[in-house]
Amino acid sequence: MAEEVILLDFWPSMFGMRTRIALEEKNVKFDYREQDLWNKSPILLEMNPVHKKIPVLIHNGKPVCESLIQMEYIDEVWPSKTPLLPSDPYQRAQAKFWGDFIDKKVYGSARLIWGAKGEEHEAGKKEFIEILKTLESELGDKTYFGGETFGYVDIALIGFYSWFEAYEKFGNFSIEAECPKLIAWAKRCVKRESVAKSLPGSEKITKFVPELKEKLGIE
């Protein structure tokens, strides 16, 4: 049966990157459609009426929203290649816990680094470093968060790596100095074709931040 897979996405989104990576990991051909978030397309509004956000995965005409949910869906629909989640219930719960942690904690604090000033900025920076250290501690000496195989938690986090240079520039700090093991992990991940294909260059992100701030009305 001919599969039609469309991804409504926005190139700098670390959430969209997750879905791109998951599809690439499974060798699924998809139609990538760049969205203008300040002028939302009819298809985006129709396929995600509740949140009106990207990424939206449209599979044979039916939408799946929310990047972590998309990852699990992709894993279930195309199970033949590398599984993204382990099969053991306890390990799956652990992976989902960390995916949820990343969702709850990383974006919010990181945003204060490039999007806020003064005390808020400093607080964001401090929290961000703490969160990365927690993640680094969870990684430990493993190759990937899941152990020997690249999976769900790695995919949930790696998109943020394309933003690290921007965070470092606007936060005036070095992430490698704070979390060398995490940087080593990130470098390992970007060697994978699925990741290299899905992450934009750090320079492009860093150049984009002032434009983003303007669009969001932040000084």
Partner 1 sequence: MANLPILLDYWPSMFGMRARVALREKGVEFEYREEDFSNKSPLLLQSNPIHKKIPVLVHNGKPVCESLNVVQYVDEAWPEKNPFFPSDPYGRAQARFWADFVDKKFTDAQFKVWGKKGEEQEAGKNEFIEAVKILESELGDKPYFGGDSFGYVDISLITFSSWFQAYEKFGNFSIESESPKLIAWAKRCMEKESVSKSLPDSEKIVAYAAEYRKNNL
CB of residue 66 to partner 1, shortest distance in Å: 6
List the structure tokens of 81. Answer: 């290649």
Rounded to a whole number of angstroms, the minimum distance from the CB of residue 147 to partner 1 is 16
* Minimum distance of partner 1 from residue 96's CB (angstroms): 5
Report the distance separating Cα 56 and Cα 45, nearest Å. Answer: 10
Peptide bond into 55 cis (omega under 30): yes
Considering beta carbons, is residue 97 or 142 the nearer one to partner 1? 97
Measured from the CB atom, the residue of 33 and 92 that comes closer to partner 1 is 92
> CB 55 → partner 1: shortest distance, Å?
13
Residues that bind partner 1 (CB under 8 A): 50, 59, 62, 64-66, 69-70, 72-73, 76-77, 89-90, 92-93, 96-97, 100-101, 134
**By C-beta, is 134 or 202 nearer to partner 1?**
134
Please answer whether residues 86 and 151 qualify as being in contact, where contact means their C-beta atoms are separated by less than 8 angstroms. Answer: yes
Two tokens, residue 111:
């945003």
Report the C-alpha gap between 70 and 24 in whole angstroms. Answer: 13
The residue among 35 and 70 lying less far from partner 1, judged by its C-beta, is 70
Cα distance between residue 154 and residue 139, in whole Å: 10
